[in-house]
Amino acid sequence: MAQVTIFSDNLDSLSGNTPGYSFGDAINFSHTYVAGAGVGGSVGARILSDFGGTNGYGGVAYQYQNGNVTGNGSGNLADYTLSFDAAVNKANGGFALIVQNWSGTFFSGSFSQSTYPSEITLATPNVFQHFSINLGAFNAGAIPTGQTWQIAWQMDEFAYGGPGTGYQLIIDNVKVTMVPEPSILALSVLGAASLAVLHRRKY
């Protein structure tokens, strides 16, 4: 069954600081859109951090935000796929992945959340890897029919081997697709058939 693109963003029109957060041992951190950092020298969302505190944990995150999502008619997480490109600058550097939804536009209405159940690590540094992850693999929780989506890539201290300097994660080409439910597909086919009948009656 053909997939429908819910939203797709290569980040190339963005600049400056990205939405994001930091916690724990993160110091000298930043999360910015950087020209030349993405796939093929395009704009990428770059997360940088030193980890030098005494908490024993820390992290910095980039949050991709879309406040006016349409077309996401299925309430089943397994009907959606999140794809993106990611690169780290240290072998086995990694990140947590979090999907958050609000029922209304631009963070209004009820809130829900799901997280990927394990840390994602990249064995080869400084090489982009493409990910395509079905949201059914996330912990239950998010209600994907919301009009506001926020996806967080959280670079965690422990995934980079403890405190250190100059750690980096880059994200590019964020996309969410949905497989239409059979009822939605049937309605679209019926609509197309009706248009065909009307078209024939004109001649």
pLDDT, one tens digit per residue, over 49-87 is 999 988 989 999 999 999 999 999 999 999 999 999 999
Rounded to two decimals, the pTM is 0.86
Q: For residues 65 and 20, give the distance between their C-alpha atoms in angstroms, rounded to a whole number.
A: 10
Domain that holds residue 127: 4-201
Q: Which of 107, 116, 119 is nearest to 136 (CA)?
A: 116
What number of other Cβ atoms are within 10 A of residue 89's Cβ?
15
Calculate the dihedral angle through the C-alpha atoms of 160, 163, 169, 175, rounding to the nearest 10 degrees. Answer: 70
pLDDT, one tens digit per residue, over 146-185 is 999 999 999 999 999 888 899 999 999 999 999 976 544 4
DSSP notation for 60-72: EEEEEEES-----
How many angstroms separate the Cα of 24 from the Cα of each of 7, 55, 163, 173, 178?
32, 6, 11, 28, 36
> Across the chain, what does the average pLDDT equal?
89
CATH number of the domain enclosing 175: 2.60.120.430
Q: What pLDDT was estimated at residue 25? A: 95
DSSP state of 25: T
pLDDT above 90 coverage of the chain, percent: 83
Give the count of domains, the chain: 1
